[in-house]
Amino acid sequence: MSKLIALSLGPGDPGLITRSAWLQLQRPDTVWTYPIRSLRKESYALDIVLRAGLPLPEQHQALLFPMTHDVEKLARHWLKAAQTVQQLLQSGRDVLFLVEGDASTYASFCYLARTLLELDATADIEIIAGVNSFNAACATLQIPLSEQDDTIAIVPAAYGIGAVESMLNDFDTLVLMKVKPLLDDLIDLLARRDLLPHARFIEKAGSPVERIVTDVATLKGEKVNYLSLLIVKNPQRERGELLRGCRKIDSLVANESVVFDENRQEIPA
């Protein structure tokens, strides 16, 4: 039985394609599919593979996932993409769906897979994990994503400035994805919280046009690419005292200090 395989390719550097994904790309008996954001734009995921030196196979198909917040329009395109994949699967060949980054992290693949399963609950789907853009960015910047008992939040910046500011009180590291629409407001927030020295901007991580900006304030008023993120460290965040190797936190049920072990089981004080 043929299957749909999500092929995570990493954020842009072909050297970050995993061995599992590379082996799938060598297969002569598959159909490549890949997302495009408009009919006038090339596929970023496909470009990663082509820069790896692999030729485009005879059987390949672009799938349109437009940049819009129109729910009905999105649903129509998800359905059309799933129907296309369903037809390709009926040919008896496995279908590879090329994904930049990781297929489980803010990727178009989740909508494709969900819609395909609505059309056919027996559809066979496999996901091959990949390197996320924020992992690659931290490696390039040579900064840790987390240390010891650091807390991390990975969120689309579209959640809004209020939500981001609230998270700064609870997390040691914020990874803000897709910052393009709110970049100026985020810069203002970080300036007000004295966190600009602890912020780093990364655009198209790992690609030939990767851009890293350490003085984030200089980006004020500048247009940036959709594939951009901010990594914000918050050394000012207050932490509870250590008790038996665990942090005290305030109970959500009562205003009492409780301590949890690594399995989230309460430890008697």
Check whether 106 has a pLDDT greater than 80. Answer: yes
pLDDT at 1: 82
pLDDT at 259: 45
Same domain as 13, residue 119: yes
Check whether 78 has a pLDDT greater than 50. Answer: yes
Q: Which domain holds residue 17?
A: 4-131
Same domain as 120, residue 22: yes
Check whether 254 has a pLDDT greater than 70. Answer: no
Q: Is residue 238 assigned to a domain?
A: no
pLDDT at 238: 76
pLDDT at 147: 87
pLDDT at 256: 44
Check whether 206 has a pLDDT greater than 70. Answer: yes
* Closest among 157, 200, 196 to 177, alpha carbons compared: 157
Check whether 237 has a pLDDT greater than 70. Answer: yes
Burial-class residue 234 by CB neighbours within 10 Å (0-12, 13-18, 19+): buried
What's the rounded mean pLDDT across residues 86-96? 96
Q: Is residue 42 assigned to a domain?
A: yes
Token duo for residue 5: 């395989």
* Closest among 240, 20, 54, 251 to 149, alpha carbons compared: 240
Cα 173 → chain centroid = 16
pLDDT at 244: 52
Same domain as 22, residue 57: yes
Instruction: Point out which residues pair with 64 in neighbouring strands.
Output: 36
The DSSP call for residue 1 is -
Instruction: Give the separation between CA 175 and CA 241, rounded to whole angstroms.
Output: 25
- Range with lowest mean pLDDT among 29-38, 59-68, 79-88, 252-261: 252-261
Check whether 251 has a pLDDT greater than 60. Answer: no
Same domain as 126, residue 30: yes
Q: What is the mean pLDDT of the chain?
A: 89
Q: What tens digit of pLDDT does each residue of 9-59 get? A: 999 999 999 999 999 999 999 999 999 998 888 999 999 999 999 999 999
* Residue of higher predicted confidence among 126 and 158: 126
Assign residue 100 the CATH number of its domain.
3.40.1010.10
- Three-state DSSP at 101 gives strand
Check whether 148 has a pLDDT greater than 80. Answer: yes
Provide the phi-psi class of 198: left if phi over 0, else alpha when psi is between -120 and 50, else beta: alpha
Assign residue 162 the CATH number of its domain.
3.30.950.10
Number of domain units in the chain = 3
Q: Containing H/E element for 117?
A: helix 109-119
Confidence of residue 236 (pLDDT cuts 50, 70, 90): confident
Domain limit, last residue, from 131, 166, 198:
131
Model's pTM, two decimal places?
Answer: 0.84
Same domain as 45, residue 18: yes
Token duo for residue 108: 């178009």
Q: Containing H/E element for 229?
A: strand 228-233
